[in-house]
Structure 1
Amino acid sequence: MVKLKSPVARPATVQSQPAEALQTDSAKGSTARFIRQGDSRPSKGTQPTNFRLPAVIIEMLDEEALATGQNKTTILKAALLAYCTSMDQNEKNRWLLEAPKH
């Protein structure tokens, strides 16, 4: 034997809410979504990455940052771009062999 549940009647206060109250609830929800989206960080297509560098290289980065007025991230980006785009294979190999010496 299957028992069917009878529909639950809503309280009179919920059923008789004016349309203005329903609009206020949806406005509150959209306001909350707007604030939550504003609090989130914008995605720039970048992601944090950690590297372990010897103290000598970090000192070199610090000196270069002071000399150029750029931050260390910008200097590392420039170095990587130079390495990946404008160096021929022989020069890349030379720097790969020199890197462990520092």
Structure 2
Amino acid sequence: MQAKIANFGLSRAFATENDSHVSTHPTGTLGYLDPEFQSSGNFNKKSDVYSFGIILFELITGRTAIVRGPVKNNHILDWDNPLIERGDVQDIVDPRLEGEFNTNST
């Protein structure tokens, strides 16, 4: 029983750092797609790094990538970016951890 993380947007194998893939049929999971891809249609390694970062935010915050609302869906970054800018790390971390974490760890 080994957990694996998969399908966080679109994963592609590239020969070099500058390679990219242009697709006319974008695929991926809502909330994990890189905004740069959404505007340009180009996938690259940065797209996967962005998607993985969203997963890390989910793990840290205990929230889902998209919170569906009656009028508007809210993305996890809409919620946590203002807190990060203010330096409110304590308010970002999942309260179920009950303070059992080190904000200075890297």
TM normalised by structure 2 equals 0.26
Higher helix share goes to which structure? Answer: 1
Q: Which has the larger radius of gyration?
A: 1
Higher strand share goes to which structure? Answer: 2
Greater relative contact order (Cα < 8 A, sep 6+): 2
